[in-house]
Amino acid sequence: MARKVLIIATDGFEQSELIEPRRALEDAGIETVVASPEKGEIKAWDKTDWGKKVKVDITLDEVNVSDYDGLVLPGGQINPDKLRIEEKAVSLVGEFVRSGRTVAAICHGPWLLVEADVVRGKTLTSWPSVRTDLRNAGANVVDQEVAIDGNIITSRNPDDIPAFSKAVIEAVNSSVNA
């Protein structure tokens, strides 16, 4: 059966952190679905200015966790900061983690893991400015390109995307939730 991964994002996602893992997943034969609070398109942040637009496939209200083998949370400062005040986004992140499905967050994306209260006792990494939030929420913070703890995968920044994508593909392909 084909694998399927949900990507939750909104305006201000770091362009490379959605586009590149999505391409890697699709190249590996894993279907991707982009969910956002509203239909239409979301706009990327590309290093120092607005970037490409990405089509939203479904709204957060339309997501059924059992339809997916995993979840990817791209970073960028704007995107996760906006999403962590979206009750439905936070609820879905918690539901994915508790289901045992793969949950992967990069850069500022782990803010959503903090907000969902699922980091206590977990070993995670992130963008440097997010690490204090992770520690304060009870996580063991490391500085490495990929940290894997159970079903949670985290990475620090766009330089880690190849290792991050590889870890997500391996986890999704070996998951038992299909």
Average pLDDT over the chain, rounded to an integer: 97
Q: Does residue 108 carry a catalytic annotation?
A: yes
Distance CA 156, CA 142 (A): 10
pLDDT for the residue 175: 83
Domains located in the chain, CATH noted: 4-106+158-174 (3.40.50.880)
Comparing 170 with 177, the larger pLDDT belongs to 170
pLDDT one-digit tens code per residue, 78-124:
999 999 999 999 999 999 999 999 999 999 999 999 999 999 999 99
Distance CA 112, CA 89 (A): 8
Find the catalytic residue in 108, 122, 131, 156.
Answer: 108
Comparing 143 with 177, the larger pLDDT belongs to 143
pLDDT for the residue 176: 59
Distance CA 116, CA 158 (A): 23
Find the catalytic residue in 72, 107, 119, 171.
Answer: 107
Q: Does residue 38 carry a catalytic annotation?
A: no
Which of the four pLDDT bands, split at 50, 70 and 90, describes residue 178?
Answer: very low
> What is 94-133 written as a DSSP string?
HHHHHHT-EEEEETTTHHHHHHTT--TT-EE---GGGHHH
Is the pLDDT at 44 greater than 60? The verdict is yes
Q: How far apart are the first and last CA of the chain?
A: 7
pLDDT for the residue 50: 97
